[in-house]
With several copies, the nearest count.
Chain A
Amino acid sequence: MEDFQVTDRPIDLAAWRRRLDHPQAGGLVIFEGVVRDHHQGRAVRHLDYQGYAPLAVRVGSEILVAARTRWPLLAALGCHRVGHLEVGEAAVWIGTAAAHRAEAFAACAWIMDEVKARVPVWKQETFADGTVEWSQGTIMRSAAPE
Chain B
Amino acid sequence: MPELTVLYFAHLRDQRGLDSERITSTATTARYLYRELVQRHGLTLPERTLIVAVNEAMVRWDAPLADGDTVVFLPPVSGG
Contact = CB atoms under 8 A, between A and B. Distances in A.
The short answer to whether A and B are in direct contact, CB under 8 Å, is yes
Interface of A: 33, 49-52, 54-56, 58, 80, 91-92, 101, 112, 115-124, 134-146
A26 to B, nearest CB: 9
A92 B79 contact: yes
B53 interface: yes
For the complex, would chain A's binding face be called helix, strand, loop or mixed by DSSP majority? mixed
Interface residues of B, number: 26
B9 A50 contact: yes
Pick from A51, A80, A120 the residue with the most CB of B within 10 Å: A120
A94 to B, nearest CB: 9
A121 B78 CA distance: 6
A58 B80 contact: no
Interface in B25-74: 48-53, 56-60, 63, 72, 74
Nearest to A54: B56
